[in-house]
Amino acid sequence: MRNLKALAFMALAVMLGLAAAVYAANWVGRQSGIASNKVVVASVDVQLGNRLNAQMLSTVDWPSASIPAGAFRDIKEVEDRVLRTAVLRGEPILDGKLAPVGTQGGLSAVIAEGKRAMTVRVNDVVGVAGFALPGNYVDVVVSAQQTVSKGEEPRQISKTVLEHVLVLAVAQEASRDDTKPKVVNAVTLELSLEDAEKLDLARSVGTLSLVLRNQMDKKMVATKGMTKDELWGLKQLQPVSTAAPAAPAAAKPQAPRNRATPVRSSECVEVIHAQRTLNCF
């Protein structure tokens, strides 16, 4: 009886092994039947602004049905091209991640067309405690003295002058894949030419601060700025007019009171008869 049970278990094990072998063979056959092509990928981690060479690249088999748009099949097609974004090991090199042909390496290759790069000095507080990393977006706030009108004392005001500004680099580093805060003394921002002029003026008239914002939030909010009176909840006093009080309006001449209309004198005839009498009609 024991031998029969052992034989039954052995037979069951053999059947399961054969089923597994058949399934594995079929799976391998299906995989080998999938069409694939060579795709150029990064063989090492490469930071933005670097020029690619053969030592940084390799080719791998990639299913033809899922090849990403803009991928390359030959390493020679991407040699000497400059990266606009950082890529990780094994990540495919795509045309959208490369600067135009002929672009020199460095931070200038990362700047978008029509934009400018400008560096501003910051400290551990102004720089959002080091959390403003390359690839993040910030708003720029200036705090300065504002003169409203001639003869009036200047008032302190804080105003947001730029919104949704891309951070290109912190200090001399342009790496975008580091999530650790870095306290630095300078931040490089990507700006339009008009915004670069505005930022240059803002840093000359007051103190700049960076405000970190959500990368997906592109909504612009126009503000009038914040003054000390508004900060403390004080109402601004209305200027008191020093002009002399207006002269009272001249009294209108009153119409003359109605007087009794004089009685038109009647015609009179003097009669002399023994005595003088006056008869009026």
Domain range summary for the chain, segments of one domain joined by +: 36-106, 111-231
**pLDDT higher than 50, residue 131:** yes
Distance CA 100, CA 84 (A): 9
Is 228 or 119 the better-scoring residue by pLDDT? Answer: 119
**H helices within the chain, ranges in order?**
2-32, 193-205, 228-231
- In 122-182, DSSP assigns E strands to 137-146, 155-170
How many CB atoms within 10 Å of residue 176?
A: 18
The lowest-confidence range among 65-74, 124-133, 202-211, 221-230 is 124-133
**pLDDT higher than 90, residue 34:** no
- Mean pLDDT for the stretch of residues 87-108: 84
Q: Does domain 36-106 have CATH number 1.20.120.1200?
A: no
Specify the 3-state DSSP secondary structure of 214. Answer: coil
Q: pLDDT category, 20, cuts 50, 70, 90?
A: confident
Contact between 59 and 38 under an 8 Å Cβ cutoff? The reply is yes
Give one word for 160, left, alpha or beta, with left for phi > 0 and alpha for psi -120 to 50.
beta
Distance CA 212, CA 164 (A): 9
* pLDDT number for residue 97: 87
Contact between 98 and 78 under an 8 Å Cβ cutoff? The reply is yes
Q: What is the DSSP letter of 176?
A: S
* Average pLDDT of the residues of the chain: 78
- Mean pLDDT for the stretch of residues 256-279: 56
**pLDDT higher than 80, residue 149:** no
Give one word for 102, left, alpha or beta, with left for phi > 0 and alpha for psi -120 to 50.
left
* pLDDT number for residue 236: 52
* pLDDT number for residue 189: 92
* pLDDT number for residue 237: 45
pLDDT per position as a tens digit, 163-219: 999 988 887 666 665 566 667 788 899 999 999 999 999 988 888 888 888 878 888
pTM: 0.58
* pLDDT number for residue 41: 93
* pLDDT number for residue 240: 45
pLDDT per position as a tens digit, 35-81: 678 899 999 988 878 889 989 999 998 888 888 888 999 999 998 88
Length of the chain: 281
Tokens of 33: 């039947």
**pLDDT higher than 50, residue 238:** no
Distance CA 170, CA 122 (A): 10
The lowest-confidence range among 75-84, 216-225, 233-242 is 233-242
Question: Residue 138 burial by CB count (10 A; 0-12/13-18/19+): exposed, middle or buried?
Answer: buried
**pLDDT higher than 70, residue 275:** no
- Mean pLDDT for the stretch of residues 145-165: 84
* pLDDT number for residue 198: 92
